Amino acid sequence: MFTVDLLKGKGIPVKKGPEGIITAAVALTPPLIITIVMLGFYLHTRIITSIQKNRIVTFENKVQELSDVVEIQKSFEEKKNAINSCLSEVSSSIGRYSQWSPVLVALVENMPDSMILTKLEATHSSVKRKVPKKDKPGTTVEISVPIRTLQMKVSGAPQLNYDTAVRDFKNRLSSSSLLAPMLEDIRVSQGVDSLQGEDVVSYEIDCIFKPQL
């Protein structure tokens, strides 16, 4: 058999033997290992990224829950402060008001039998007073102090003289164990009034209570 070498000894394929196969395998192994490692790293990264995303979502939900709790707590604190403020205001103001019932009982018990009560009204006014400042002893501050006045009018027949009866009434109120510590002054004025179409003599009596600081 004759072999014609048209390539003149060039490009004749080498016959593959065991050495060639081993050489080819050795040549392909590093890229294959690198590919497998990179694929493993990629899959590992994907898994870690997915886990971290889930954790982030979980943390965001917890943060939102905590944020809601903080808002609720803040709302409770605001309500508590508002309630404490109201209680403080009530506490500071309650001393300025008193029940009128004992006062009215004292008036009825001491009122002259010969006269009738035709008017009874409680009024409030205020005066400026200087009082010691709570947080700075020795320093005074000007505040508005309420003054309560109980205005009443007693009347009787015009042909009778009630001066003595009204004067005794005033003295009994001034010396009353209940009213005396509370009253600052009692003012009496006389006039003429009309009751059921008839003229009557009337006495305006103003019981001025002491200012309550």
* 12, pLDDT greater than 60: no
pLDDT at position 128 is: 78
3-17 b/e (C-beta count within 10 Å ≥ 16 → b) = eeeeeeeeeeeeeee
For 181-199, how does the pLDDT look when each residue is reduced to its tens digit (9 = 90+)?
989 999 999 888 877 777 8
Rounded to whole angstroms, the maximal C-alpha distance in the chain is 175
Could you tell me the pLDDT band of residue 161, with boundaries at 50, 70 and 90? Answer: confident
Could you tell me the pLDDT band of residue 207, with boundaries at 50, 70 and 90? Answer: very high
* 81, pLDDT greater than 60: yes
Could you tell me the pLDDT band of residue 78, with boundaries at 50, 70 and 90? Answer: confident
Whole-number mean pLDDT of the chain?
A: 75
DSSP, collapsed to helix, strand or coil, labels residue 57 as: helix
Instruction: Please list, in sequence order, all residues whose beta carbon lies within 8 angstroms of the beta carbon of residue 103, skipping any fewer than 6 positions away.
Output: 150, 178, 179, 182
Q: Which CATH architecture has domain 101-209?
A: 2-Layer Sandwich (3.30)
pLDDT at position 20 is: 54
pLDDT at position 6 is: 54
pTM over 0.85: no
For 89-133, how does the pLDDT look when each residue is reduced to its tens digit (9 = 90+)?
655 555 555 567 888 888 888 888 888 888 888 888 877 777 777
CA distance 172 to 163: 14
* 52, pLDDT greater than 60: yes
